[in-house]
Amino acid sequence: MTDDLLPDNTDTPDNNDELYERFSLIIDKGQEPLRIDKFLMTRIEGATRNKLQRAMNLGMVLVNGKEVKPNYKIKPLDAVIVYSDMSPEETDVVPEKMDLNIVYEDADLMIINKPAGMVVHPGSGNYSGTLLNGVSYYLQQQNPGISEDILPRFGLVHRIDKNTSGLLVLAKTDKAMRQLAKQFFDHTVKRQYLALVWGDMEQDSGTIVAHVGRNQRFRKLFEAYPEGDHGKDATTHYKVIERFGYVTLVQCVLETGRTHQIRVHMKYIGHPLFNDDFYGGDKIVKGTIYSKYKQFVDNCFAICKRQALHAKTLGFIHPTTGEEMHFDTELPEDIAQVIEKWRAYSNTVGTR
């Protein structure tokens, strides 16, 4: 085996909601001793010395199963695993005072219930008003004098879409970030979403397996590639919670964490999310076209002005105590109201 890196989960930041990936390799028999940071800079695309050194200081680089420092010199047949930070290059985060719905907090981590409409981290076109702007301010108030160097993307190991509401975990220590990142990569974190989708789903439960990657023509959109010829592997398990005839409330469990995964997978099987303007859910997909029905749907769109998707539950192993942690949230008011309207409508007109 050559010493080329073998990605276990090849992703790019724009095709992965989990901000870490893992590479593994076996060092070639003829390799001369060389500092591991210098070696990896030539093997991982886009890697910088600062990022690699930080990863090693966080224990994210293992050689023969043990953490190593940047000055470690690789040897022939060393087995190397690198948990690589996939977050975008750091952007200055200006602390901003805002209301954060903190569901839980201890010395190691915090759980936040993100509202729809809030971007998780600063980036192109969104330099303020993001979740991390608020977290930065919150941490400054908690820790007067904290270095601003550690505030950008502090503790962020995953994200959810701007117009998706729900639970996020952020680490408050290096150890917690390392442990949580590994749990996300190993798919041991338990995440359940609730989604209102168009159509009456045929099966009560099922699994969708189709790669998710960028649309070849429209780069802001993602597409399902069932043959695996493009994108990254993606698996979504779903279960019907309640049927309303023209729409269905489903629970989705992610096995992988690709960008727009649930939205893309549901569109792929013919059930786009209700009012998802990216994937065709913002028009009447199922049902009649008479005026009263159209008015009813438009009223629902006016109540829930975004895709009806909520990250409802989150479970993981606490990085310090080893305790199983589980968090659950109520549906936000906009989705809850629309569900009630559909429930009343389906009972009235007998669509089921």
Task: Provide the annotated active-site residues.
Answer: 161
Nearest to 256 by CA among 189, 169, 312, 168: 189
How, if at all, do strands 165-171 and 66-67 pair? unpaired
For residue 345, the SS3 value is helix
State the DSSP code for 324: E
Contact criterion met (CB below 8 Å) for 164 and 304: no
What is the rounded CA–CA span in Å between residue 186 and residue 21?
10
Helical residues (DSSP H) of 7-122, grouped into ranges: 36-41, 49-57
What is the rounded CA–CA span in Å between residue 323 and residue 331?
26
Cα angle: 290, vertex 293, 294; to 5 degrees: 80
For residue 184, what are the CA distances in angstroms to 58, 217, 256, 265? 16, 31, 9, 20
How, if at all, do strands 235-243 and 205-209 pair? antiparallel
Structure tokens that stand for 36 in this block: 């591991």
Neighbours of 70 (CB within 10 A): 17
What is the rounded CA–CA span in Å between residue 194 and residue 187?
19
Does an H or E element contain 249, and which?
strand 247-254
What is the rounded CA–CA span in Å between residue 231 and residue 228?
7
| Alpha-carbon dihedral angle through residues 178, 179, 183, 184, given to the nearest 10 degrees | -30
In the beta sheet, which residues pair with residue 22?
Answer: 83
| φ, ψ of residue 319 in degrees (nearest 5) | -65, -20
Structure tokens that stand for 118 in this block: 């809030």
How, if at all, do strands 222-225 and 79-85 pair? unpaired
